[in-house]
Structure formats: C-alpha cells, structure tokens
Structure 1
Amino acid sequence: MFTFSRVLCVGSVIVPQSTSSLTVCHFSAFQHLTCPRRNSPYSSVDSERYSSLVKSVMSSRVSPQTPETLQAEDDQIYGPVVKAPARTETRGPNILHSFLNSGRPLETQEPESGPPVRILLNRGQGRSSVPSVTRILQQTLSPEQIFYLERWKKKMIAELGEEGFKEYSQNLFRQGKLFHSALEDIFTSGAKWNPRDPSEAPDYVPEVQGYIQSVSHILEDVSAVRATESTVQHGALNYLGIVDCVARYRGVLCVIDWKTSEKPKPFLSNTYDNPVQVAAYAGALNTDDNYKYQVENGLIVVAYKDGSPAHAHQLSSELMSDYWKTWLLRLERYREQRSSTSSSSSEK
C-alpha cells in the first residue's frame, strides 16, 4: 500500500504522487489529459441573469403571452413592421381626357343664393344605355376586392342566415336613403344649421337621428349649397351619376359624398373606391351643360349611426386629378369587358 505525500494536478484530474518509485510516467496512458482545457459555450453566460430569466418563465405568476404581447415585444426590439406599399396602377389611361373644362371658370358665374339645383335622373332621355358610375366601379373591382367582399358576405350569412343577411342589407340601404333625404331637407330648407339650439333642430325618424348628430359638426362648415341629389352626365365619355351634394366646405367648393358606416373610417384609404367615385362625379359635372361652373375639389363624409363624430376626408385638386386618372382606367376596363362579352356572344 502506497503512502502519498502530495498530489499532482494534471489537466482537470488530480493524480496522487507517491514517495515511492511510482512516478507520473506510469500514467502514460493518460497523456491526453495534459491538453489545454476547452472553453465551455456557457462560460460567458451571465448566470445571475439567466437564473432570473428561468425563474420568471417557470413562475406561475407570469401571465401567458398572447400574439398581441409578442407583437409589442417585437416592435420594441426590432421596430414596427414596415408594410409593402399598396399596389397601384402602373399604366396610365390610353386617352387622358381632361378633368377640368377649359371653357368654364373655376369660380361660379351664377349667384350662390337660392335653392340648390336638383336634376332628376330620366332614363328615357337617351340615357337607357348610359352606364352609371356605381355600375362601372362594381363591375371593375380587382380580384382582391372581390375576395374580401365575398369573404365578408359569407361571414355575415354564417352569422345571420340567408334571410337575415337579406334583411340586414335592406335595412342598411333604407337607412342610407333616409339619411340622404334628411340632408336634402336641411339643404333645401335654406335655414342655417345650428345644432347648438335643440329647439330649432328638426325631428327625424330614429334610424337617422344618430347619423345627423354624427355630421352636425360638418354641417356647420357647409355653405352655399349649389346642388343636391342631382344627376350629372359626361357626354364625351358616356357615363352618368347622381351627385350627393355640391357646396362650399370651409370656403372651398367641393363635390360632397355622404357615406354611412358601422365601423370607424378615420383614413382616406378606409373609403376604398369612394374617392374614385367623387372624381368621376366632378369630371362629369365639369362637362355637363346643366351646370355653369366646375369643381376641382372633393369631400367624403363618413357618418356613424351611434352619433360619434363623422370623419371628413378632403380631396385636394391634386388628389382629384390622380383619382380621375384611376377612374379613366376603370372606365377603359369596363369597356374592354363589355367588348369582350359582346364578341363572345356573337361567336356563339
């Protein structure tokens, strides 16, 4: 039995060294132990911080993360997600018809006093084959727009059923019609809108009271109403529409489109094809002989049934010019579709 007087540390192994004839060379089979020690990948880890992290994850008091909290953390660490810009038309219209009428002044030559003009739509006056702005826009929707509309319709039918969805759609149409009629009454009455005096506020059916309350702050800035629910027609481009209102908003003459919505639409992008519609109406008015003035600005007002303040989206002359080009493209697409349909029918 050996008596050891000291120990020898070789690598990470402690080797006893005897005072007898036993030497380190007898451990030649373990020469690889003298190689340099490899660094552990965890050697640089902050153990205290790592321990705290493990405890926080394993603790039952920590609430589970949701997609919203994960998104918030990602935004904090990496910054907000930068979305790709929306796809726009890359080509211009084949024929760039002028939006404005060079033969008319921008300012009206007719007096701004008096009742607003209302030209009723009469399909019998050579207009039976003239398409409306609404029809053209509906029949030239992009595949993406059609997809989302169909998905929304299927969702509503799943919730309400076929008959329920039909009734829901009819109610929306009825409420919109009553809302427009109420606005027309306000504009044709000639009275100055004063929502601060309840005694002067007219009574409206319950379906539109919230909408009127919603646009009350907008009506304070509307003056010099020139037209309401009036037909406009572009003779050269052969389309027509019914403009909701032509009036001054904060002193600027605009084509005004009144919309109703169940969801907030605080941005112009939320209004989808409405700016294109307004530009189409203004372009038609500017060439229609029934109007002796022209308009280069627009306004979209989105009213809410619960009475919350409506959103007003102004369209400058520059924006109107851009949306006019988009309208010309949609009009060309509509005609191409009609021509293709006619050719297919004649071949059968």
Structure 2
Amino acid sequence: MKFLLVNFTQMLKAREPELLEREDGHWYQTKFDKIYPSISTILSATAPEHKKNGLAIWKENEPAHEYITKQAQDIGTQSHKIIEDFLSNNLSLDEFDLLPIAHFNNLKPFLENISDVTSIEQRMYSDKLQVAGTSDLIAEYNGELSIIDYKTKRKPQVDEYMYEYYLQTTCYAQMFQEVTGQKINQVVILVSSEKNTRQEFIKNCDDYIQPMLERVEKYYLNSLE
C-alpha cells in the first residue's frame, strides 16, 4: 500500500500540534502556542445526560469496570498499531497479543478497500472551531478520500451507538479542509467485535456538520458559566 506523496501530507505535518499530558482530557498545543481541547474531550463533556448516566450506572454496577476499561484500551491500542504497521508495509505480529491480532484479521477484508494513504495517526486542529484531535487514518476508501477510524468492541454495534464517532470524524474532516482547502465528504468507521463480527459504517459528512458545530458551541458556552 503506497502513501500519497502530495502536498496534503506535507501541509498536515507542517501544522501538526503537540499532544499535551493533562488529566482533564486530551489537549493540543499548536506551533503558535494556542491550546485547544480534543473533539473527543468536547463530545464527552457535552454528551446527552442519558449517555453520561448510563456510563455512571455501569461503573456502579460493575466492580471490575477499571480492569475492563484498561483491557479495552490496551486491545484498542494494539489493534491500531497492527493496522498502522500493515498500512505502512511494516507488519510483524510477534509483539502483539492474540485478541488484537484476531481483530486485525477480522477487519482485513475492509482494510483491502484502503488505498493512497495521506496520513496515519494525524494530529490536526482548527483555529476556526478551537478544537484539535488525532485521526486514525486519512486515505481513499473505495476510491474516495475519507476520514477512516477503526474500533474494537465487545459486541456488534448499531447505527445509533456510532453517532458520536460520526461527529468526531466529521470534525476531523473540517480540520483537514481548513489546512488543505480540500473537502472530505466521506467518513468511514470500521468495527470489529469479540463476537467475530465486522461492520462498516459509511456516512456523508454534510449530515453531521451542524450537530457537530452545535456540540462545540455548547462546550464553549458551558465553559463561560
């Protein structure tokens, strides 16, 4: 799989912010010393009450919630690294655990749809929106330039559960356009579950720009209170 050696890659790297170590979410510092919260931090802070309450109830009723959360994070991190190495033609599975390898093999038919990679694990930001973040992958998917994210889950997902990811990836598309001037119309979420299911969610960014903007605005309005 080849990398797309065009100005987009160089433009993104030249403007790449630094990820800061903070306890109140993910924050990024630009080369011009502006500090912005990540879109994931913003979406978490502005999530609907029923989602926040659902997470709180799960933690209250699950004694092993810290272990489960840490394990899920580790599996996700390893799975992302395997896919990154695969796309970079630098894959060796010796250092990875069996479950992340299984997730990779499960998603591989979808990964074959990826071509002309622009960037992997790309840090970006938007001065207009005052937000930052890291996109898993910017590449062509089925021939169309896309923001692509991959998720590992314990169970299969339904479209409703993916809504926050659609907002997140749409925000990445806005950041990309602000840097490069190139609009990205498509976001793709690839999901592998421990039930041996793989799912492909493909959405049009235009359907999620307005609700994403509203969540960002809500975050900053709340910070003024």
Shorter-chain TM-score bucket reads 0.7 to 0.9
Residue number among 150, 158, 183 corresponding to 1:294 in the alignment: 183
Counterparts of 1:74-223 in structure 2, within 5 Å, are: 112=4, 117=9, 119=13, 121-122=17-18, 123=29, 125-127=31-33, 129-156=35-62, 161=63, 164-189=64-89, 202-203=93-94, 204-223=96-115
Q: Is the 8 A contact 2:103 2:193 kept in 1?
A: yes
Q: Distance in 1 between matches of 2:164 and 2:37?
A: 17
Range 292-301 or range 118-127, more displaced: 118-127
Q: Is the 8 A contact 2:191 2:200 kept in 1?
A: yes
Structure 1 residue 112, shift from structure 2 partner: 2.8
Task: Give the equivalent residue in structure 1 for 2:210.
Answer: 325
- Between the two structures, name the one with larger relative contact order (CA 8 Å, sep ≥ 6): 2
AA aligned to 2:171 is A
Task: Give the equivalent residue in structure 1 for 2:139.
Answer: 247
Structure 1 residue 227, shift from structure 2 partner: 1.0
SS in 2 for 1:136: helix
What do residues 50-91 of structure 1 show as CA deviations (whole Å, max 9, x unaligned)? xxxxxxxxxxxxxxxxxxxxxxxxxxxxxxxxxxxxxxxxxx
Q: Is the 8 A contact 2:75 2:99 kept in 1?
A: yes
Q: Is the 8 A contact 1:214 1:305 kept in 2?
A: no
Task: Give the equivalent residue in structure 1 for 2:124.
Answer: 232
- 1:281 maps onto 2:162 in alignment: no
- The Cα RMSD (Å) is 2.4
TM-score by length of 2: 0.83
Task: Give the equivalent residue in structure 2 for 1:72.
Answer: none
Q: Is the 8 A contact 1:130 1:238 kept in 2?
A: yes
Structure 1 residue 167, shift from structure 2 partner: 2.0
Q: Distance in 2 between matches of 1:219 and 1:175?
A: 18
SS in 2 for 1:154: helix
What do residues 304-339 of structure 1 show as CA deviations (whole Å, max 9, x unaligned)? 235x241000012xxx11211001100110011101
Q: Distance in 2 between matches of 1:190 and 1:327?
A: 35
Identical-residue share of aligned pairs (%): 21
Task: Give the equivalent residue in structure 2 for 1:310.
Answer: 198
AA aligned to 1:333 is K
SS in 2 for 1:225: strand
**How many residues are paired up?**
207
Q: Distance in 2 between matches of 1:210 and 1:278?
A: 25
Q: Distance in 1 between matches of 2:214 and 2:39?
A: 13
Q: Distance in 1 between matches of 2:126 and 2:135?
A: 13
Structure 1 residue 251, shift from structure 2 partner: 1.1
Q: Distance in 2 between matches of 1:129 and 1:234?
A: 11
Q: Is the 8 A contact 1:229 1:243 kept in 2?
A: yes
Structure 1 residue 214, shift from structure 2 partner: 1.4
What do residues 232-287 of structure 1 show as CA deviations (whole Å, max 9, x unaligned)? 1112121111010011111111100111110111x322213111111111111110
AA aligned to 1:328 is L
For the structure 1 residues 221 and 309, does the alpha-carbon distance in structure 2 shift closer, same or farther, using more than 3 Å as the test? farther
For the structure 1 residues 324 and 129, does the alpha-carbon distance in structure 2 shift closer, same or farther, using more than 3 Å as the test? same
